[in-house]
Amino acid sequence: MSENVLSGKRVFITGATGFVGPHLCERLLKEGAEVVAFLRKMVWRRPKNILHLKNQLEMRYGNLRDYGTLLDATKDIDIIFHLAAQTHVPDSVGDPLETFEVNAIGTLNCLEAARKNDIDLFINSGTAKICGDPLYLPFDEKHPNLPHAPYDASKIAAESLCMAYYKTYGLKVCMPRFTNTYGPRLDRRKVVADLIYYLLRNEPPVIRSDGTPIRDYIYIDDVIEAYMKLVEKPNAVGEVFLIGSGVGTSVLDLCNLLIEVSQTKLKPIILGQPIPGEIQEEYVDISKAKKLLGWLPKIDLRTGLSITWEWFNAHPEFLEE
């Protein structure tokens, strides 16, 4: 990215102990930013994803549902990356109220704190899932939002609030929507990490669905590069961008590719269980990000899975509960 865009900027990150957050923190520190991580104390008890950065970051503690704490925590901040969310679709089906409170009300609290503190830029972390069952493939930013699960609906609400703050108050916001992100330090509740867990134990990987759902998998480094482009490009403000590989891959094909890169001869166990709230098929058109941001993914799925496999093979403890 352009030199010195982030150098010396004070950057606030919610969700810093998740999967994407620590990777983003690493890149921001490399770019010369001063990084402030917003953490829940209960999360910081097991900070394995971000532990290696704790001496380079400033930590502030609180909860997305507490507006007052967020207002105080962002008083001296230039840019907010809002990544924190309840991201598991089955959990949203089981507890839609908590999902909405975290994802929608939490985002509203962050936006209001940003407005009151005159934040220069607010980057929301959205999801391609808000389009629901696509009417066409690959789908683009013009596709209507058709929520399939409470998670989807909560993220639509969050993004709508971002747009409202942009149009009403002039708060500069960017609204990327990401597909299925994977890479080192991925949570085992995500399919790539779960399949690797079994392969590392030399056990047949378990596919809980029938293996046919199709998803768009994007490697973490490409996601972080997209975040950098959003900061760099003034024409990103007020815009929605789909960020993915643009390629659809079934869960079974994903599993077989992981078996190949891990050089094992295991056969998957297919349970064929329906997963509440899940969409059957999704992959995205990334032409808008290419045109306006100059962004394209560089890591193909085989390469990304190989890197991810090698990392977890060297750090198997990250997949232990």
Radius of gyration of the CA atoms of the chain, in A: 19
Q: What amino acid is encoded at 217 in this protein? A: Y
221, with CB counted inside 10 A (0-12, 13-18, 19+), is middle
Phi, psi of 174 (to 5 degrees): -125, 140
Q: Are 137 and 284 in contact (CB under 8 A)?
A: no
Catalytically annotated residue among 61, 67, 136, 151? 151
Q: Which of these, 81, 80, 62, 82, lies nearest to 70 by C-alpha position?
A: 62
What would the two tokens of residue 132 be? 């629901």
Q: Which of these, 91, 320, 300, 303, lies nearest to 196 by C-alpha position?
A: 320
Q: Which of these, 208, 317, 301, lies nearest to 260 by C-alpha position?
A: 301
Known catalytic residue at 217: no
Strands 214-215, 249-250: pairing kind: antiparallel
SS3 26: helix
Please, what's the largest Cα pairwise distance for the chain?
A: 57
Q: Are 34 and 58 in contact (CB under 8 A)?
A: yes
SS3 62: coil
Q: Which residues are marked as active site?
A: 151
